[in-house]
Amino acid sequence: MNDQLLVNHRMSFSYGLLALPLAFVALPMYVNLPHYYATQFAIPLASLGAVLLASRLIDAFVDPWMGRVSDALYGQSVKAVMLAASVLCFLLMISFALLFFPPAFSSTLPYVLWVAVCVTFCHLSYSGLSILHQAWATRLGGGPVQQSRVVTWREGAGLVGVVTASVLPALAGWPLTTLVLSVMLLLGLLAWFGVLQKSRAKTELVNAAPLKAETWLPMQQALFVKLLLVFLLNGIASAVPASLVMFFVEDQIRATAEVAPWFLGVYFLSGALSLPLWLWLVRTQGLPRAWGYGMVLAVVSFVWVSFLGAGDEVPFLWVCIASGVALGADLVVPAALLNRVIDSLGHRGHAEGLYLGWWNLTSKFNLALSAGLCLPLLSFWGYTPGVQSEEGLRALSLAYGVLPCVLKLAALAALFVFWIQPSASLPASRSQ
């Protein structure tokens, strides 16, 4: 199509760089934050789970509205997008710093309230910035190969950020981690602004005929709902172990606090190194089949984890490597499929923000459920961080190792029915 913007690798890299510092915010929210407040300030898991669930649900249900704002900003001008992104970036840096450097309180309740307020501001500013950033890539259109390539640069930068965020707090502490986040946010923002300026004329051409879209428009599209269901099941399967990994490593594997972050680093590094493999599979097998292969690998690699115990650092390391490779498919394929669906429905250039709002709502709903339900349930079943009781460790092992595999198999079944089997109707891209 004549409104398609072709991007090279340098432009894709400049666009994707902002995903690196955004990953700093994504990882600590679900992995480090519960562990940090539970161990440093003795906040009960049930209280943390309730706060994170409430905060995430508020954030998630605001996302469709943020999507409408994103569409309006892109429809107005590139300068409006840049101004909004700058404000959100500043709010994100402030709220993140306040979250990990709370005042000294004499009781539990003030810490709980502090987390509730700061994490909600952090979530909202992160979400607004992420939707604006993702919307630019979605507006590109193009065939599956270009969509996958741009998404891969963004998700690859995000994985580098995740690896850094997983080991930096343990190695250098939260002060340096916060400083690195702030510097990288500014650099990523400037790099993306350069891309926005280069694509300014093309973006305004696409916006010439805005669509008067209702908030519920995406949920009225059967093709999008089918993709969203697979994304929901697969996301919950990934979110559960993400919320429990630090507890599993320290209490079930019984690795030291200094060693534990390296398992996360290996997991995400394996995902980053596997991205060329998944791009090749997308080119040769197509988007749905490539995603299916990733789900199968995830189950095969993770099903053994519930049998691990104290001293099994090396077997768990191999689980991290194999499941990390499977992670690459989750990073490349879903977003590219979403772009393809939007393009095939004729809503590219007009309603990307709406689709991304519902998409991000689903993603956050997954994470909210994992933190808001798994942590209180583990507490109810007798698990207490740092206490290696037989009953508690059995509950932890089942929640961390078995439940994700069941959910992943459900996601694979939905993917096959809706996207892979011969009778499934695949969306045709309008820009090949």
- We report the CATH number of the domain holding residue 395 as 1.20.1250.20
pLDDT of residue 401: 85
Q: Is residue 425 part of a domain?
A: no
Q: Is residue 1 part of a domain?
A: no
Q: Is residue 431 part of a domain?
A: no
- In this structure, the number of other CB atoms found within 10 A of the CB of residue 158 comes to 25
Residue with token string 């340098």: 10
Distance CA 272, CA 160 (A): 7
Q: Is residue 395 part of a domain?
A: yes
Nearest to 250 by CA among 44, 45, 399, 39: 39
* H and E: helices and strands count for the chain: 17, 0
Q: What tokens does 270 get?
A: 């394996």
pLDDT of residue 428: 52
Q: What tokens does 222 get?
A: 């059967």
Q: Residue 384, SS3?
A: strand
Q: Is residue 432 part of a domain?
A: no
Q: What is the total count of domains within the chain?
A: 1
pLDDT of residue 325: 94
What is the pLDDT tens value at each position of the chain, 432 positions in all? 344 556 677 888 889 999 999 988 876 676 778 778 888 888 887 788 788 778 877 877 788 888 888 888 988 888 999 999 999 999 999 999 999 889 888 888 898 899 999 988 998 999 899 999 988 887 776 666 667 778 788 888 888 888 788 778 878 888 898 899 999 999 999 999 988 887 765 555 445 444 455 778 888 888 899 999 999 999 988 888 877 887 888 888 888 766 777 887 788 889 888 988 998 998 888 889 999 999 999 999 988 888 888 888 889 999 999 999 999 999 888 988 888 888 888 777 677 778 888 888 888 777 767 766 777 777 777 787 777 777 788 888 888 888 889 999 999 999 999 888 776 655 654 443
Distance CA 243, CA 32 (A): 9
Nearest to 336 by CA among 160, 66, 68, 152: 152
pLDDT of residue 430: 47
Q: How far is CA 398 from CA 32, 56, 190, 244, 248, in A?
A: 21, 25, 45, 11, 11
216, burial (CB in 10 Å: exposed 0-12, middle 13-18, buried 19+): exposed
pLDDT of residue 35: 76
CB-CB contact of 310 with 253 (8 Å): yes
Residue with token string 């493999």: 277
Distance CA 110, CA 116 (A): 10
Q: Is residue 3 part of a domain?
A: no
E-strand ranges in 18-139 read: none
Q: How far is CA 374 from CA 160, 179, 243, 384, in A?
A: 28, 32, 8, 13
Task: Give the number of C-alpha atoms closer than 13 A to the C-alpha of residue 32, restricted to the C-beta side.
Answer: 23
Residue 309, by phi and psi: left (phi above 0), alpha (psi -120 to 50) or beta?
A: beta
pLDDT of residue 210: 47
The residue range of the domain holding 164 is 9-420
pTM > 0.95: yes or no:
no
Q: Is residue 430 part of a domain?
A: no
Q: Is residue 345 part of a domain?
A: yes
